[in-house]
Each structure stands twice: as structure tokens, then as C-alpha cells.
Amino acid sequence: MGKAYKRPVSTNTTPLKATHLEPGDCISCDQLESNTPGKVAILKGKPSKDFYHACTFFINYALNKVHITLNYSTGADEAVTLKHCFECLAAEHGIRICMYHGDNGVFVSFPFK
């Protein structure tokens, strides 16, 4: 068994803040995929046989906001549609998106660019 020692918490460090960023300067985006598909919410009628299998999220660090959307797949076509919806939502609030920051995968595909 190892011995654990309590280390003092440093009080001279300040948390990182995105004060130099303007809203829309850099939006981080990523996707995640679920092993357990989720049902689509239906208020009336027959339940759908489609299931959500993934989600895409966009993070605006300057505003400290996260926008999450549910997806049927992690494909590029659906990601492009969600990107356009997110840009329309940002434009409604007067924010112009300048740059996206994402990992490889669907975000480096030709349709997304």
C-alpha cells in the first residue's frame, strides 16, 4: 500500500478566464456516440422507430455557453445541418462565428469545411 500525503492548495494561482475572447471568436465542437440509443420524444401519434445515437455540442468559452443537439448518426451531412442551425441561432443573438475548433473526424471533412 502506498502512502498518501496531503498537499497544500496554492492560493497564488488564478483561474483561466476567456476575457480576451469575443463571443464567436472560437467555438469548440465535438461529437459523442452512445452505446444505448435514446428514443425520439413523440407527443402525439405512433412512437417512432428511429433512435438518437449521438450528440453534437458547440462550446462558446467567451459566453460560457454550451449548445447540445441530438443526432441520429455521426455523419458529416448531419453535422453540417447542425452547424448551420447553430450559426442561425448565434446570428439571432448578434454573434458572428469566426472559427471552429474541433478534433479530426467529421470536422475535417469536405462538407463541414
Cβ–Cβ < 8 Å for 95, 24: yes
The sheet that has 100-102: what strands, in order across it? 65-71, 51-60, 27-39, 100-102
Tell me which residue of 85, 92, 93 sits closest to 58, measured CA to CA.
Answer: 85
This prediction's pTM:
0.71
In tens, the pLDDT along 7-64 reads: 676 666 555 455 577 888 889 999 888 887 777 777 677 777 778 888 899 999 888 8
Q: Which domains does the chain show, CATH number per domain?
A: 27-39+49-108 (3.30.420.10)
